[in-house]
Amino acid sequence: MLVLTNAMIMIIFLNFSSCRNRGSVGGYFLAGRTMHWIPVGASLFASNIGSGHFVGLAGSGAASGIGIAVFELNAIFILVMLGWLFVPVYIAAGVFTMPEYLMKRFGGQRIRIYLVVMALLLYIFTKLSADLYSGALFITQSVDINLYVAVIILLALSALFTITGGLTAVIWTDSIQVLIMILGALILMVMSFIRVGGYDALERKFFEAYPDTTIDNWDNESYPYSKCGIPPANSMHLIRSYDDEVLPWPGIMFGLTISAVWCWCSDQVIVQRVLAAKNLSHAKAGTLLAGYLKFLPLWLIVFPGMAARVLFPNEVACGDPDKCLAVCGSEKGCTNVAYPKLVLEIMPVGLRGVMLAVMMSALISSLTSIFNSSSTLITMDIWTRIRKRASDVELMIVGRLCILVLVAISVVWIPIVQNFGELFHYIQAITSFLAPPICAVYVLAIFWKRINEAGAFWGLIAGLVVGLVRFIWEYIYKVPPCGVPGDIRPSAIKDIHYLHFGIILFAIVVIVTTIISLLTPPIEDKHLYKLTFWSRYSTSSRVDIEDEGESREDITKETTPQLNFGNYNGLPWYKKACMWICGIEKMDEQPKMTKENMRILEMKQCSIYEAKWPRMVLNINAIILIAIAIFLFGFYA
């Protein structure tokens, strides 16, 4: 409880100390686009590496070796794509959210609303559920506290912190939490290697880490689990055979890349951080910093997970479903407890508290990122459709209230997330069922101007139908534990890996989108300036599709109801406190910008100009980063 209290004090302090740029929509949702590359890169890493990664990556490492690290190494290449291919278009387009970009690109509202709903579903099924499950798993094994009390405390902290601070607070606290996570994980990694006898000993002992039930019944033909709990022979390989049940190489090379492009290049949680950078050079530098940090999970999380199997084979590598049920409450295996088990067993009492703080930092960092980005999507992409003349004050209040709704949904999901199998593969499977259509449409929208709204919409619908059929079909059947006969799953589910299915789904959407776009009228060039990669430097003025004649910025104060609080200094303290929470600080005293000033500010924020030397340094660093990633892939291939 002392650790929880200290963490609460730290988070609240950071929240109050980083509340700049919170009194406007641009400040709350994009940090005023003033962020330096270091907090941008650190926040990219922190918002992606949550407690789900600590539990999930370590658990998969304990189950099948280093192969799971390809998900992290693949992200390095995609982060470079984000900085060099996607972000320049987003900045030039001047968008707040990813659905807003597609609305500008295609016109209409149906694609925008579709993407908001899909993004929120993906957040619930993957990000929120995984982080809540892993955080609850770690806390309940570490501290004698009720599960729901612990999770509600964490959710309350995350929501309060995001509500009062906005994206500026989220990014700055993410930066500090990255240091906490790396330091704590580094200490545990060193202690793990020391305990098993070093890297060479870890590699040798991992292949000998059988549970006692397997060793004692090796020749017992009547015991159905005698061949369970055995590490795969290719556990030290990143690239595996095409028919590997866990990580087939076509799925890793192509299917994973498709899911990663969605995650890093079109997901609001990630892209929102890069759009907060002060200019394109800082945005690129932030993606490079996140790319360098992506080398760490292999060493800080995956290898310690393998060490946990070596040190505690009967618990982490249990093969008998009854034994597993007693250890962790799941018949499918207990590899998810690898990281918590390692912390509790090999770290001294004081450092256990540090690692609990690390898990809390990871969990809260991830949750605040999701809450802030989700509220941005709902506010800017849905509420502005309902209330076209909503004031900035109203939008910020709605953004805060949306977070409270997400907190309630998260609490409802707590009983469900406790019943997952191997966590990290669950996350990736759901992503492969739902994300490829979105990835396909974004890629086509940015790189091919011939794609139009009809093609994109019906491509998304076709992908949604096919993906949901596989999603529902997948979870109708229960996967039997190791050694249990009678796998009745259809061949289409059992034999088509989820990463391979992602490739098929991506291809279906590309084909449908292309055919329908070619059969329907193209979008005129005047509507596409600065909205495709090839027109990002265009100096022509874009005419928005289906322009109604006035944008939200064009609506004057006379036609938009504004809240008048009179004399701010004379208000009671409790009214000032409520106004501060909602980002309403002396609104009547804030200077009003003329249309010309707003136009100049918009041109500055949408500029993708880069000076010669920063551009050259960034390009060289990108090449170095990719070269190191390729070498690591080759070394462990």
- 407-420 average pLDDT score: 64
- Region of 97 on the Ramachandran plot (φ > 0 left; ψ -120 to 50 alpha; else beta): beta
Same structural domain, 241 and 274:
yes
d(CA 470, CA 282): 40
Q: Which of 134-148, 247-261, 540-554 has the lowest mean pLDDT?
A: 540-554
Terminal Cα distance for the chain, rounded: 45
Same structural domain, 126 and 274:
yes
Which of 430, 436, 427, 565 has its CA nearest to residue 511?
Answer: 436
Residue 293 DSSP symbol? H
Is residue 247 situated within a structural domain?
A: yes
Whether pLDDT at 13 is above 50:
no
CATH number of the structural domain spanning residue 510: 1.20.1730.10
Is residue 552 situated within a structural domain?
A: no
pLDDT (0 to 100) of residue 12: 45
pLDDT (0 to 100) of residue 560: 38
| Total domain count, the chain | 2
Which of 461, 431, 456 has its CA nearest to residue 441?
Answer: 456
pLDDT (0 to 100) of residue 198: 94
Which of 155, 129, 185, 182 has its CA nearest to residue 339?
Answer: 185
Residues whose CB falls within 8 Å of the CB of residue 465, separated by 6 or more in sequence, listed in order? none
Is residue 553 situated within a structural domain?
A: no
Residues whose CB falls within 8 Å of the CB of residue 358, separated by 6 or more in sequence, listed in order? 54, 180, 181, 183, 184, 185
pLDDT (0 to 100) of residue 548: 41
Same structural domain, 413 and 461:
yes
pLDDT (0 to 100) of residue 543: 87
Same structural domain, 162 and 256:
yes
pLDDT (0 to 100) of residue 550: 42
Whether pLDDT at 418 is above 70:
no
pLDDT (0 to 100) of residue 169: 54
Q: Which residue has the higher pLDDT, 160 or 391?
A: 391
- 160-183 average pLDDT score: 64
pLDDT, one tens digit per residue, over 599-622 is: 555 565 677 888 889 899 999 999
- 432-441 average pLDDT score: 94
pLDDT (0 to 100) of residue 155: 67
Same structural domain, 83 and 226:
yes
Is residue 579 situated within a structural domain?
A: yes
Is residue 484 situated within a structural domain?
A: no
Q: Beta partners for 35?
A: 277
Same structural domain, 502 and 584:
no
Whether pLDDT at 388 is above 80:
no
Instruction: Identify whether the C-beta of residue 539 lies closer than 8 Å to the C-beta of residue 476.
Output: no
| Buried b or exposed e, range 9-38, using 16+ CB within 10 angstroms | ebbeebbeebbebbbbbbbbbbbbbbbebe
Q: Which residue has the higher pLDDT, 71 or 364?
A: 71
- 157-179 average pLDDT score: 61
pLDDT (0 to 100) of residue 495: 87
Q: Which residue has the higher pLDDT, 383 or 315?
A: 315
Same structural domain, 509 and 520:
yes
Q: Beta partners for 212?
A: none
Same structural domain, 72 and 208:
yes
Is residue 630 situated within a structural domain?
A: yes
Domain that holds residue 540: 2-479+489-545+592-635
Rounded to the nearest integer, the mean pLDDT of the chain is: 79
pLDDT (0 to 100) of residue 579: 53
Same structural domain, 499 and 352:
yes
Which of 2-6, 237-241, 419-423, 622-626 has the highest mean predicted lDDT (pLDDT)? 622-626
What is the band of 433 on the pLDDT scale with cuts at 50, 70, 90?
very high
**pTM of the full structure:** 0.83
Is residue 290 situated within a structural domain?
A: yes
Is residue 551 situated within a structural domain?
A: no
d(CA 484, CA 486): 7
Whether pLDDT at 515 is above 60:
yes
Whether pLDDT at 469 is above 70:
yes
pLDDT, one tens digit per residue, over 194-225 is: 999 999 999 999 999 999 888 888 888 788 88
Same structural domain, 470 and 562:
no
Which of 417, 516, 413 has its CA nearest to residue 463?
Answer: 516
Same structural domain, 575 and 464:
no
Same structural domain, 570 and 586:
yes
- Determine the distance from the C-alpha atom of residue 497 to the mean position of all C-alpha atoms in its chain, rounded to a whole number: 22
